[in-house]
Chains A and B, each alone.
Chain A
Amino acid sequence: MESYTLFEYFHNELANWKGFGADKDEHISILEDIGYKVGISLCENMCKDRPRFKEEVDVLRFLCRDFWELCFRRSANSLKTDNAGTYVIQDSEFRTLTALSSGKQFLTDAPKFLAYPCGLLRGALFALTLNAHVTVEVTQIPAAKFKIDILRK
């Protein structure tokens, strides 16, 4: 059963879809917003019958293992933190970037394949009561470095 395969074709279509917004930036923000809404509902459904997370870092561990595996089909490679509300998650083969040939040639195309995922992560964190700012950096496709800043209430 491969509904993930169909999801991937669908996400690639969204990334390339010309109907979202007048320009590249608007397209990116619309994709991020779609991901955000999905991330909230998906994470709520995933965590319905899970015990509450004790520590903030436990939420981030859940994000870069269970949530990552569901949405991106592997666990992230590493989770680092400065213990002041900033976390960095690295994935050496980020799933949505594998749609692009590796190396530096398509770096300019990377943002539209990362907008929806960033929204997913922000939405998942929101569902777990953490307001966050999610940004991503790509220096070499398909590796991606996500920076998550937890916004203090």
Chain B
Amino acid sequence: MARQGRSGETKMEGELLALTYGAVVARVLKDYERTDEVNAQLDKMGYNIGVRIIDDFLAKNRHGRCKNMQETAEAIQSAFKQYINVQPQVGKWNDAQNSFSLTLDTNPLTSFVELPAELSRLYYCQLFCGIIRGALEMVQLETKVQIVADNLKGSNVTEIRISFVKKLVDALPVGED
């Protein structure tokens, strides 16, 4: 049986992730009628992954502490490259330089997916938002992360908006300024 070359395997690895995620989304859709509840579940799953995968990322990337949101954006960009082999663009900074967009031209999670009209309020890739939010929280950055353009809904890109909320200082319990 012929061994698949490295690129063949990488493609298949991407399919393993994409197919598994698709089956999970289908399952969650069965369990929850309201799509915004499904979005919340996917976000929670992502958050739980984000708070763990950050250690893997920091261990493999001699990243010093990100001094500003620009460096944070670049770190997220390299994480996307590392984990799903896609290089998102960083851009659309606001004036305060604390909110930006990650734009993905291709989205490996959606390669087998078509979204029926009645699921227009589903954010299929909400998992990404949760992962980013969870990972950033572990490096003391509270953020709001949401999908603002979705390649499953007519846009030819997927755009994820990341906005800084506040710095989490370890000394204070979360929520107290």
A-to-B contact residues, CB < 8 Å? 1-7, 9-14, 16-17, 19-20, 30, 33-34, 37-38, 41-42, 45-46, 50, 61-62, 65-66, 70-71, 116
Asked whether B1 lies within 8 Å of A17 as measured between CB atoms, the reply is no
Asked whether A42 lies within 8 Å of B19 as measured between CB atoms, the reply is yes
Asked whether B1 lies within 8 Å of A42 as measured between CB atoms, the reply is no
Partner of A6, one of B12, B31, B53: B53
Partner of A3, one of B41, B52, B56, B108: B108
**B85 near A: Cβ within 8 Å?**
yes
**B71 near A: Cβ within 8 Å?**
no
Q: A9-B56, A42-B19, A61-B1 are in contact. List 20 more A-B contacts (CB 8 A).
A: A1-B10, A1-B82, A3-B17, A3-B84, A3-B108, A4-B16, A10-B20, A10-B45, A10-B127, A11-B20, A19-B31, A20-B31, A34-B23, A41-B15, A41-B19, A42-B12, A62-B1, A66-B4, A70-B16, A71-B16
Asked whether A20 lies within 8 Å of B12 as measured between CB atoms, the reply is no
B-to-A contact residues, CB < 8 Å? 1, 4, 9-10, 12-17, 19-21, 23-24, 26-28, 31, 41, 45, 48-49, 52-53, 56, 81-85, 108, 112, 127
B56 contact set on A, CB distance < 8 A: 5, 9
Asked whether B27 lies within 8 Å of A6 as measured between CB atoms, the reply is no
Chain A interface secondary structure, helix, strand, loop or mixed? helix
B13 contact set on A, CB distance < 8 A: 1, 3-4, 7, 70
A6 contact set on B, CB distance < 8 A: 17, 49, 53, 83-84
